[in-house]
Structure 1
């Protein structure tokens, strides 16, 4: 019920924006095309289309795979090429977020347009969105993700028209439009301000923890030295220096200033009298403990959030918390390539869900300072939607239990429950229909949301393990090469078992009813419930059988140019 209330609250204030002002002629733009292991012709198609956009800009291929053929192809296509430098060797890379952050420090455009490797922009993309940035409080503008290779029946639920429509417009109305990782333009100033703020907060927390530990160790050393020891006075002076540093951090003084003052005081202690090497090492370590440089990472400043595999949502939330504003521009200006097989789609959805729940557990919007009440609810609504995986288990198990053994799994009579549940269910469906008027795929979206309950549960548990048990979450790049063509039910084995159990429960329920062991009304209402569950779950069977037409047609002249460049490389014997 809470999800329906949040959805109603969201769409109640949906914002439909007027056309923005013309793009400022002086606005400088860097277009980033992120890639790791995608095929060359796919990346080049996007890069060439981006190169040919009308507003003046620089286009860059950000190749996290560091492939020589991509470097050569970028040069021949007239676009820039950026990969990681030696400073990243042996250090955490942070996947797509690290790739973008690396490029941010190698370019200087006022605005950054981000495109995934398969997201091909239209020529007017920049012209249509840059005008919003005449409002200097706007941090980013997000446009819809639309997929050209999705058939009308959308068997994998890829065309998220409800999200890139009423939901994003609702979030926009409440000042919380999401950054979705691609098809967006961001203000560099906002990203850099976020990176500096995050760096300062991280250093501050690190410094507080380090000073607390060092102060405790100095207290132990003072106690061990005893009242008459010549070491007692220097250690007490060092303890005072640490205590003053702690006071400085609590007062909000810059970490660099606090570290410098601590260094001066500790140096005075070291010069006041000869000290044993063990004490010298301890006092020197006290200064090093609050050092503000980040030698453990390739970049000290990370503008795009690196703490989660859904760096886009976390970055947007932190920008909103800092007071920056966002815009959702409801016009398809980029056409992408959606997953065209079930296994690939599940990889993508699980990454989204895992990252969202990772933010929910580690950086809950209800506790994030700076967000308005409405913004907190907008982020919370998206994150908690993945908890529906557990609710789906209840919806599947309840009729099985009643039809199988006659026990209604609630403290209510079956008739009373259904008398309340059915009107509520119909009201929710009406709300979806009204909110998503003229949007297709509403029912398919509900099917996918319900049927992927194992994915949502696995993502929630994985995120919880990452946050509370420090388990590593690998960033899974959505494959762009089609999986084998045979039908494979293994990715949805749990759903198939649930469907079989539901059918068997119906058979048992009818037998129990026929012999007078079950009441008529609850039995047939439960069978109707089973029918609804089966209808929702059946989408995975259709998805498992789906095979797209071959070959996929090119969508822009850029595709033909990309094939020509790739063909020239092959003919020249370039490395592949």
Structure 2
């Protein structure tokens, strides 16, 4: 009680924030601009109130001591992260949903003929099953005047044969200059020479399958002649490494959901949505106006939005799940992908389309670029600094943050609570503190390196392809990523016992700030522990999307009967109920949209029967279309808080190797 009384005054601002949030926010709509603006302004004001306290009360006197240099350096880095979050909050004050606009303008070209759309599938080294489903999905698009082109930068004869078998056009070039952008530009030369060049071009990565209504919905927004590009979100039917290795696939969304479901709609409301490469549709005339895909960055997608804007063409965002693809399955590929995104942004910032260069970008475009730059350049280095700072205190006696507990409660806590409520109310609960820090920490080293390299030497970098597919059936420990985390974990844990174990005593003037450092240290240990668990890649089951249980007719030698189809891939199925089956029996399963598929029973259990499917070629294609082109979002899109903690506890109980 005495402790609570000592800190009650300091706790008052946090209690006010909590009370207002819990009472008012449940009554408000998430798309209400007044509520969003009020919430974001309050969070930003509390953030800068905290930062003002940091500079005036918690940093050492400005001189040439280690304490001062490290303390001020850390505080300045923290301030830049707050500048980044302030701009981000400004953007989040608005949001836009174009679903009604797409409804109202569907088929705007009528009574004239439907526009010709060329679908370009850029590929380099992907495996056949990945490309087969993408091509099958593209050929199943509902739009009547669609041509599908597979752009092979790997010059593979088997892919040419696959295209001929499925009915897609195949293009290859003699070199790999400018990677994906160069591959697409080479295809443009072919399209330009056709008797009927396209009016629109859709771009798909090799692992992204379009839903049947992808073109119908995206084309509706081109009713406005100023629209040059329509971007749609990326959804994933497999789990990313964080979901997979922590066992959170059912309860925690993929790491990109906040960006695609909330940041992009907010940027769209300000006219700042940008191309993300795959799952986009572009106006052919706009592409011709800018000379095709720009090649000045390894992230040509953002750059194409800026070039289109210079020529008077807008990029808009349709927040509907119209494609689904593969998230990086390995942690190394996950980190490499984000490092490439960061490097590409740094190249743009340093190039002729940068925010401070002489170009025709609007002020808002420049602010949007600064926002993206600050996100990459401050968030990840700050995450690394947060790990090192307590070590400086425990091992060298450097007081980086001289903060009393009461001050932390009075200034940091209300800011933290307000930001947490703001981002989670806007996003519907997508930001979970420890897991969010883990996702940043895993890529922090690679991304911080990309920031430095991209700023210092923006030219001459090769495009690093994100590998997809491969054998994912074994436990794989990512030692290059885990090892430095383990070293920091041991050092952090050892720091708690350094002085008692060595009798080294530092002349610290930190008051009760040692308790702040202690709490900080314990939090770092938790984040490091979870991050190390993610580095142990667990075997993956089939990445086939989930299906809703449905009734099917089962034909057997003993007679016909109904059963429940519970799981379906192109290779196997799981049935519940129906006629009696025994291992080795042959049968046929009548699947809607596919037909009667021959099958063999491989296993029978009280809960159901496993069948190996033996589809013919048309049936296999139909299965791919059936599995990957249905309407709706693939994967988990919302956080289930109760289930999240249950899954984390289950993962912890299975041990370090997940057994």
1:130 correspondence with 2:239: no
Aligned position for 1:187? 283
Q: How far off is 1:358 after superposition?
A: 1.8
1:59 correspondence with 2:148: yes
Of 332, 352, 371 in structure 1, the residue corresponding to residue 361 of structure 2 is: 371
CA offset digits 1:231-251 (Å, max 9, x no partner)? xxxxxxxxxxxxxxxxxxxxx
CA offset digits 1:282-335 (Å, max 9, x no partner)? xxxxxxxxxxxxxxxxxxxxx111111111011112212332111111111111
Structure-to-structure mapping, 1:168-317, within 5 angstroms:
168-195=264-291, 303-317=292-306
Change (3 A) 1:446 1:179: farther
User: Partner of 1:162: helix, strand, or coil?
Assistant: helix
Q: Is the 8 A contact 1:415 1:522 kept in 2?
A: yes
1:359 correspondence with 2:455: no
Aligned position for 2:602? none
* TM-score under structure 1 length normalisation: 0.72
Alpha-carbon distance between aligned partners in 1 of 2:433 and 2:223, rounded to the nearest angstrom: 35
Aligned position for 2:638? none
Aligned position for 1:79? 168
1:39 correspondence with 2:27: no
Range 392-401 or range 112-121, more displaced: 392-401
Change (3 A) 1:445 1:372: farther
Of 537, 541, 546 in structure 1, the residue corresponding to residue 537 of structure 2 is: 546
1:473 correspondence with 2:569: no
Q: Is the 8 A contact 2:240 2:328 kept in 1?
A: no
Aligned position for 2:454? 463
Change (3 A) 1:539 1:349: farther
1:27 correspondence with 2:15: no
Alpha-carbon distance between aligned partners in 1 of 2:569 and 2:147, rounded to the nearest angstrom: 17
Q: Is the 8 A contact 2:335 2:442 kept in 1?
A: no
* TM-score under structure 2 length normalisation: 0.63
Q: Is the 8 A contact 1:160 1:445 kept in 2?
A: no
- How many equivalent residue pairs? 452
Q: How far off is 1:383 after superposition?
A: 2.3
Aligned position for 1:3? 84
Computed over aligned residues only, the root mean square deviation of the Cα atoms, in angstroms, reads 3.1
Q: Is the 8 A contact 2:237 2:543 kept in 1?
A: no
Of 307, 314, 324 in structure 2, the residue corresponding to residue 318 of structure 1 is: 307
Q: Which one has the bigger strand percentage?
A: 2
CA offset digits 1:245-264 (Å, max 9, x no partner)? xxxxxxxxxxxxxxxxxxxx
Alpha-carbon distance between aligned partners in 1 of 2:222 and 2:569, rounded to the nearest angstrom: 28
Aligned position for 2:484? 494
User: Partner of 1:141: helix, strand, or coil?
Assistant: strand
Q: How far off is 1:438 after superposition?
A: 4.9
User: Partner of 2:201: helix, strand, or coil?
Assistant: strand
CA offset digits 1:499-518 (Å, max 9, x no partner)? 22222222336779998976
Greater RCO between the two (CA within 8 Å, min separation 6)? 1
1:507 correspondence with 2:497: yes
Alpha-carbon distance between aligned partners in 1 of 2:350 and 2:187, rounded to the nearest angstrom: 29
User: Partner of 2:512: helix, strand, or coil?
Assistant: helix
Structure exhibiting the larger radius of gyration computed from Cα positions: 1
Alpha-carbon distance between aligned partners in 1 of 2:506 and 2:370, rounded to the nearest angstrom: 47
Q: How far off is 1:375 after superposition?
A: 2.1
Change (3 A) 1:138 1:538: farther
User: Partner of 1:146: helix, strand, or coil?
Assistant: coil
Change (3 A) 1:67 1:508: same
Aligned position for 2:228? 139
Aligned position for 1:296? none
User: Partner of 2:243: helix, strand, or coil?
Assistant: coil
Q: Is the 8 A contact 1:64 1:84 kept in 2?
A: yes
Q: How far off is 1:546 after superposition?
A: 3.1
Alpha-carbon distance between aligned partners in 2 of 1:558 and 1:64, rounded to the nearest angstrom: 29
Alpha-carbon distance between aligned partners in 2 of 1:368 and 1:555, rounded to the nearest angstrom: 50
Aligned position for 2:522? 531
Gapped runs of 5+ residues in structure 2? Answer: 1-81, 192-196, 246-252, 548-567, 572-593, 595-613, 621-659
Q: Which one has the bigger helix percentage?
A: 1
Q: Is the 8 A contact 1:62 1:82 kept in 2?
A: yes
CA offset digits 1:102-129 (Å, max 9, x no partner)? 1112122111111111101111111111
1:448 correspondence with 2:439: yes
Q: Is the 8 A contact 1:144 1:164 kept in 2?
A: yes
Q: How far off is 1:482 after superposition?
A: 3.3
Of 89, 104, 120 in structure 1, the residue corresponding to residue 209 of structure 2 is: 120
User: Partner of 1:185: helix, strand, or coil?
Assistant: strand
Q: Is the 8 A contact 1:451 1:536 kept in 2?
A: no
User: Partner of 1:458: helix, strand, or coil?
Assistant: helix
Q: How far off is 1:97 after superposition?
A: 0.3
Alpha-carbon distance between aligned partners in 2 of 1:310 and 1:319, rounded to the nearest angstrom: 15
